[in-house]
């Protein structure tokens, strides 16, 4: 796969009339690993003049897509020396698109998820990003995907403009990313609440029923729950419920909360850069105080200025009168799991903007943000407008299932 960039696009850095050839091809680990890692290291996330977020893939450039059975990474190389100037990743899976009409059965569709688009700062505005997206779409279409989607910070104007204006994606969903620091102190759980660990087999049964009418629920949920990165699925219920409820029966208690914990820190780590020395000292001071006097329960900020990991909470749902209270206790339980892990500094979750569970999840607003998912139908000739997921816009459920392999 290759493309050519016209001489007009090169005028800013090349005075010759030569056409520069940019080749887009599949990533070769033996040949490309070092160059890709160097390119990744140049691409921090954040606004100019503000703290930025660096991603450490820990020596595995395809770590973020490796846990999906069908995935690819493409690189763009430029010039006679084959300099790698751009990369993009993609994966394909089968997910629900919500209920169609009055049918209670979930409707599944094959979809591609596009992530990890990077272009060298010296080679931007030359059409390389657009061509990388086009080529990953070609690969997705060839492998049977009907739709492609991407996710970005809702304030990332450059990314949004690229996908919506140049690649014809539509703004589709706007979930919330909720972030809670892992403090040094233990978070107590009310004595009348029980936390029950649910087996992967039972979790699969529960999730298929709970998220049957939601969007983006993966058909291979069993593979996710059996993955070594999944630290478990947990339910919070009133203790008095345990007298009349047997989890193995497959029935739900009258009120409960449920979530699963994904160990993202084994896939990649993060680091906050560019913070002032004054803010760094304040954060460090809060942590020291919380460690020395945990009974004060100081809302300390963990050390996120060195590489750190986080746990992703997913499959989040609550029901019944005490659902919000049970969810807060379940999040406290997950916090205490992270507290025991020396490298886990944050708990992260992503839920639909109108999902009732959103208000029950503890978070720090300063650390949290709004996400934007943009989607495109890859083969517009294949279905009628009333069968187009993108055009339909309205969802049959306020819940969005966030696949931890995508995060």
**pLDDT tens series, the chain, 407 aa:** 444 443 333 333 444 445 668 899 999 999 999 999 999 888 766 555 567 888 899 999 999 999 999 999 999 998 878 899 999 999 999 999 976 655 667 889 999 999 999 999 888 888 999 999 999 999 999 999 999 999 999 999 999 999 999 999 999 999 999 999 999 999 999 999 999 999 999 999 999 999 988 999 999 999 999 999 999 999 999 999 988 888 778 789 999 999 999 999 999 999 998 888 888 898 889 988 888 998 888 889 999 999 999 999 999 999 999 999 999 999 999 999 999 998 999 999 999 999 999 999 999 998 999 999 999 999 876 555 557 888 876 666 788 999 999 99
Distance separating alpha carbons of residues 14 and 7, to the nearest angstrom? 8
Distance separating alpha carbons of residues 407 and 404, to the nearest angstrom? 5
pTM value? 0.91
Distance separating alpha carbons of residues 60 and 56, to the nearest angstrom? 9
Report the Cα–Cα distance between both ends of the chain, in Å, rounded.
Answer: 28
- Could you write out the DSSP letters of every residue in 349-383? EEE-TT-GGGGGS---TTT-EEEEEEEEES-TTSS
- State residue 143 phi and psi, 5-degree precision: -95, 15
Tokens 């087999």 belong to which residue?
A: 201
What is the DSSP code (8-state) at residue 162? I
> 271 near 53, Cβ under 8 Å?
yes
> 406 near 151, Cβ under 8 Å?
yes
- Sign of the torsion angle spanned by Cα atoms 98, 100, 101, 104: negative
Where does 264-382 show beta strands of DSSP type E? 269-273, 309-319, 344-351, 369-377
């Amino acid at each position: 796969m290759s493309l050519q960039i016209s001489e007009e696009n090169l005028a800013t850095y090349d005075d010759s009339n030569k056409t520069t050839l940019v080749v887009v091809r599949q990533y070769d680990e033996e040949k490309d690993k070092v160059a890709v890692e160097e390119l990744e290291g140049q691409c921090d996330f954040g606004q100019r003049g503000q703290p930025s977020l660096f991603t450490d893939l820990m020596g595995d450039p395809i770590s973020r897509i490796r846990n999906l059975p069908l995935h690819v990474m493409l690189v763009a190389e430029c010039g006679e020396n084959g300099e790698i100037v751009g990369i993009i990743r993609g994966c394909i899976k089968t997910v629900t698109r919500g209920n169609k009409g009055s049918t209670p059965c979930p409707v599944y569709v094959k979809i591609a998820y596009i992530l990890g688009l990077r272009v060298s700062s010296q080679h931007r505005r030359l059409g390389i990003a657009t061509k990388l997206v086009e080529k990953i779409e070609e690969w997705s279409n060839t492998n049977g995907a009907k739709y492609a989607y991407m996710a970005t910070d809702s304030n990332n104007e450059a990314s949004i403009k690229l996908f919506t204006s140049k690649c014809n994606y539509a703004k589709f969903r706007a979930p919330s990313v909720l972030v809670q620091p892992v403090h040094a102190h233990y978070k107590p759980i009310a004595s009348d609440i029980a936390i029950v660990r649910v087996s992967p087999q039972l979790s699969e049964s529960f999730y298929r029923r709970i998220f049957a009418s939601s969007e983006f629920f993966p058909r291979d949920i069993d593979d996710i729950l059996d993955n070594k990165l999944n630290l478990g699925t947990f339910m919070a219920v009133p203790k008095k419920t345990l007298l009349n409820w047997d989890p193995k029966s497959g029935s739900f208690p009258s009120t409960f909360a449920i979530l699963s914990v994904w160990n993202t820190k084994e896939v990649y780590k993060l680091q906050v850069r560019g913070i002032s020395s004054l803010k760094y000292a304040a954060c460090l001071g809060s942590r020291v105080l919380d460690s020395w006097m945990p009974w004060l329960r100081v809302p300390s900020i963990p050390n996120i200025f060195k590489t750190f990991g986080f746990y992703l909470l997913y499959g989040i749902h609550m029901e019944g009168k005490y659902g919000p209270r049970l969810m807060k206790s379940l999040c406290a339980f997950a916090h205490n799991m992270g507290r025991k892990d020396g490298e886990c500094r944050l708990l992260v979750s992503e839920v639909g903007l109108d999902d009732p569970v959103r208000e029950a999840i503890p978070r720090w607003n300063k650390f949290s943000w709004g996400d934007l998912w943009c989607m495109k139908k890859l083969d517009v000739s294949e279905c009628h407008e009333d069968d187009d997921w993108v055009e339909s816009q309205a969802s049959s459920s306020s819940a969005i299932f966030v696949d931890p392999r995508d995060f």
